[in-house]
Amino acid sequence: MAFKERVFSGVQPTGNLHLGNYLGAITKFVALQERYDCIYCVVDLHAITVWQDPSELPRSTREVTAAFLACGIDAKKQIIFNQSQVAEHAELAWVFNCVARMGWLNRMTQFKEKAGKDRENASVGLYVYPNLMAADILVYRATHVPVGEDQKQHLELSRDIAQKFNNDFAQSIHAHGYGEAFFPLPEPLIQGPATRVMSLRDGTKKMSKSEPSDYSRINLTDDADAIAQKIRKAKTDPEPLPSEEKGLEPRPEADNLVGIYAALKGSSKADVLREFGGGQFSTFKTALADLAVAKLGPIGAEMKKLMQDPVYIDSVLADGSERAQTLAAETMKAVKDIVGFVRR
Ligand code: AQP
């Protein structure tokens, strides 16, 4: 069956929105709105799978919303909202808790990394996080999901859940007039030179919000001086830049900075190496800092401006939530019929 093409993705309001979130996800969100109907969500239900200070969470939620707007997502044409305002996400997640298998979740590397050695003490929410993520996407029967490389495994799980639901309830889906399959198998969109931006302090670790060192990441709200200083101090090796992409393979820090430059410029790593290959890092870092400041400076400034008007931001979220809920409620009605729940 052909499904209406629709994009869904989310960002957690867990503070310190960074260059990885921007290049891996938000720039893709912006580009996709030209071709698709898009739903972009501030996933606050996901955020509380690890402790969030209730006095900070509203600010973080508004900050992600401000980033969406400042980067150029059109809140009138597309839907921007926060997850907890649409209860259907949690409702469908429960159904998916009963579809997904323990064995599938046991393979999720993000849970293993985040729970660490103290697994007994991790929240149950952190364990079933991928089921909620599947619900986020499928409650809109979304077909395309732009994410960074780190979310690939969760996307594959979403596809497995959609497939199992379609198989388990095949007869009922057919009987209710939905044809062969009720849920699409959502496609991950993971493309370009910066699908996994690495820490500026360690090229083998992902750039992340929760890394204690602020020098490991460029925050979207960093000013020009901070951006330039972080790039100047970024870890590199003593060799000049290679002229061919293959030369980046054993050099994670060089590979990371070249990838960041390429993504910010909208070119490829090969193009960047044609320009800077054979040169010293100092020259390249200066060019990278200038480019990063030119691209991120206006976004940070706009975010700060928007953050001064929380009433406006909340009105964007309220309007988006209402429109999202209309779509989600339609899916949930159908799911209830398919599963066999008696409803009003
Ligand atoms: N380093 C990254 N490179 C490329 N893409 C990235 N994303 C995150 N980090 C990178 C992508 O950004 C989107 C939103 O991510 P998220 O906030 O929902 O969750 P996350 O992946 O857990 O982000 P962090 O920064 O790594 O947070 P912590 O430190 O809390 O774990 C997603 O599409 C993600 O792929």
The active-site residue out of 117, 164, 205, 206 is 206
92 and 81 Cβ atoms separated by less than 8 Å? no
Atom 2, ligand 1: which residue's CA is nearest? 20
Q: Is 16 in the pocket of ligand 1 (CB under 6 A)?
A: no
Q: Which domain holds residue 274?
A: 214-305
**Is 151 in the same domain as 289?**
no
At 22, which CATH number?
3.40.50.620
Substitution site in 22, 28, 151, 190 for ligand 1 pocket (most atoms within 8 Å of beta carbon): 151
* 21 close to ligand 1 (CB < 6 Angstrom): yes
Instruction: Verify that 166 and 76 share a domain, yes or no.
Output: yes
Q: Is residue 203 part of a domain?
A: no
Q: Is residue 86 part of a domain?
A: yes
What's the one-letter identity of residue 204? Answer: T
Ligand 1 atom at minimum distance from 208 CA: 25
Let me know whether 191 and 296 are in one domain: no
User: Do the beta carbons of residue 118 and residue 140 sit within 8 Å?
Assistant: no
Helix 281-307 to helix 57-71 angle (10° resolution) is: 110
* Statement to judge: residues 180 and 230 lie in one domain: no
CA 123 – ligand 1 centroid, Å = 19
Check: CB of residue 316 under 8 Å from CB of residue 75.
yes
Would you say residue 201 lies in a domain? no
Q: How far, in Å, is the centroid of ligand 1 from the Cα of 332?
A: 28
User: Is 19 inside any structural domain?
Assistant: yes
Which of 8, 11, 14, 21 maximizes ligand 1 atoms within 8 Å of its Cβ, making it the mutation to test the pocket? Answer: 21
Task: Reduce the DSSP state of residue 213 to 3 states and report it.
Answer: coil
pLDDT of residue 321: 98
Domain total for the chain? 2
Could you tell me if 313 and 301 lie in one domain? no
Same domain? For 273 and 168 the reply is no
Task: Quote the ligand 1 centre to 12 CA distance (angstroms).
Answer: 8
Our answer on whether the CB atom of 148 is closer than 6 Å to any ligand 1 atom is yes
Within a domain: 265 = yes
CATH assignment of the domain containing 249: 1.10.240.10
The pLDDT profile of the chain, 344 residues, written as one tens digit per residue, is 689 999 999 999 999 899 999 999 999 999 999 999 999 999 999 999 999 999 999 999 999 999 999 999 999 999 999 999 999 999 999 999 999 999 999 999 999 999 988 899 999 999 999 999 999 999 999 999 999 999 999 999 999 999 999 999 999 999 999 999 999 999 999 999 999 999 999 999 999 998 999 999 999 999 999 999 999 999 999 999 999 999 999 999 999 999 999 999 999 999 999 999 999 999 999 999 999 999 999 999 999 999 999 999 999 999 999 999 999 999 999 999 999 999 99
Kindly report the pTM of this predicted structure.
0.96
What pLDDT is attached to residue 251? 95
Dist. CA 10–CA 25, nearest whole Å: 9
In the prediction, which pLDDT does 210 show?
A: 87
Residue 25, domain member (yes or no): yes
Same-domain status, 230 and 164:
no
77 and 145 both lie in a single domain: yes
Check whether residue 130 and residue 253 sit in a common domain.
Answer: no
Asked whether residue 293 is domain-assigned, the answer is yes
Residue nearest ligand 1's atom 14 by CA: 11
Residues 122 and 54 occupy one common structural domain: yes
Distance 316 CA to ligand 1 centre (A): 23
20 within domain boundaries: yes
- The verdict on 146 and 219 lying in the same domain is no
- Tell whether 283 and 184 lie within a shared domain: no
Catalytic, 206? Answer yes
Give the C-alpha separation, 270 to 303, whole Å: 33
- Find out whether the beta carbon of 146 lies less than 6 Å from any atom of ligand 1: no
